[in-house]
Amino acid sequence: MSGDQEAQDDELLALASIYDEEEFRRAESGQEGEIYLCLELPPNFKLLVNGERPVEYDVSFLPPLVLSFELPENYPSTSAPVFTLSSKWLSRLQLSALCKQLDKLWKENQGSVVLFTWIQFLKEEALEFLGLQSPLEITGSKSDRCKNEAAAKPAEGLEKRKQQQELDPRAVLEADPQADLLPQLLDFDEAQRQKVFDGKPFCCGICFSEKLGSGCMLFKECQHVYCKACMKEYFEIQIRDGNVQCLNCPEPECTSVAMPSQVKLLVGEDDFARYDRLLLQSTLDRMADVMYCPRKTCCMAVMLEPETTMGLCPSCRYAFCTLCKRAYHGLSHCLPTADELRNLQEEYLAANKEEQKFMEQRYGKQVIQRAVEESFSRQWLEENSKNCPSCGTHIQKTQGCNKMTCSSCHQYFCWICLAPLSKVNPYKHFNNPNMPCFNQLFQGLEDDDEFISDEDE
């Protein structure tokens, strides 16, 4: 075995021992392979998307650079590795600058294996070499996508040379130049974060058992972690009770809410279908311009038009009044039901000026006034009269004994207990020791002035 061949085998074995299969992939035959290099981002690294309102996103990972290489027979003694460098988020101009730097490193180390040197440079120094700092600006879907908002700090005169040099054929842009880059970057960052989370141990705040992140759930807003078994049971109980708005973090006073995608992963299909339906319904209920069709056989959500009281169901085509929920009656006031009319006075007097104005618009001032007057009449009668036990006529009493005669049906009855009395001997009721009103025929005559009777004896 030649010295070059032995050096190549040793280098490839060393790389295989340092990096796992996701980072280093060697071809089954031949001295070639691919190295996936995730650049080390500083803490609190951000992506900046410019537009009408600039938006920043925190990221911990960016898609890797891919270094594809093939080792010639006379490497490392004479020739350098043949390579290409590709990326989804760096421009070809930036990749070309990195390719030139790899050539420079080879010249400085010619005669020695260089792949590990290249890897270390790309992982640890590429951002600084290109002058890329946080926030990294995403400029759109053109070929040159990313640039540094701050002043670039590459090797001296790099920006001027970038404008003059030709693109290196070894620099490969993996992404479609017309595709939206931001979702790809955010999806990769999310996947890598989840991968790191899955491998860490956590203590569940409910059952206090320690489990790997792959068996736990993370609330995104607050970063609190609980095991999936506890959260599954908690979610199922809340959903079955109809509390779909309460799937929040169990930590006391924490307001973080579980995402629908997290709920779907934990509960069964039936529970999630119920959760999804109730969540949609509660969302529609909170929307001021949405109302449900009053027909019980329909109940379709109806979008309301501004400045009109008519709703038109898109499903059953029922036209209804948005105020009273009955058939649309044009510009006429809503006709209150008997129950609504009885409660109208209390609601009107307890309402503020805006609410009173709305009620007057809905029912009309005359209806409101009549309801108030009738309510006061009912209240006076309830406080100052009693009903005949036979026909229900209101009876008012001012003086006399407790044997009463109804002016409507002429029934005799006791004012104290409202029991009907015999027409032959109505006073027997007050003379019978076994009756509760025994000897109370004239009871209350001294303080009976507040009653007004239709008829008494």
Tokens standing for residue 368: 């409101």
User: Quick check: helix, strand or coil at residue 326?
Assistant: coil
> Which among 24, 185, 44, 39 has a CA at the least distance from the CA of 126?
39
How far is the C-alpha of 399 from the C-alpha of 457, rounded, in Å? Answer: 9
Q: Angle at the Cα of 118 (from 116 to 123), degrees rounded to 5?
A: 95
Site of tokens 């537009």: 51
- Kindly name the residue from 401, 406, 414, 437 that is annotated as catalytic: 401
406 is annotated as an active-site residue: no
How far is the C-alpha of 295 from the C-alpha of 314, rounded, in Å? Answer: 12
- For 185, residues 6+ apart whose C-beta sits below 8 A from its C-beta are 47, 59, 62, 63, 88, 89, 138
* Beta-strand pair 412-414/136-138: unpaired
| Cβ-contact 8, 77 below 8 angstroms | no
How far is the C-alpha of 441 from the C-alpha of 416, rounded, in Å? Answer: 9
How far is the C-alpha of 98 from the C-alpha of 87, rounded, in Å? Answer: 11
CA distances from 163 to 6, 67, 93, 157, 167 (A): 42, 24, 9, 10, 10
Query: In the Cβ-directed half-sphere of 440, how many Cα atoms lie within 13 Å?
Result: 12
* Beta-strand pair 46-49/136-138: parallel
Site of tokens 């999630």: 272
Tokens standing for residue 147: 């640039």
* Beta-strand pair 46-49/55-58: antiparallel
CA 202 to chain centroid, in Å, comes to 26
Q: b or e along 401-419 (b: 16 or more beta carbons within 10 Å of the residue's beta carbon)? A: bbbbbbeeeebbbbbbeee
How far is the C-alpha of 162 from the C-alpha of 97, rounded, in Å? Answer: 8
Q: Which residues carry out catalysis?
A: 401
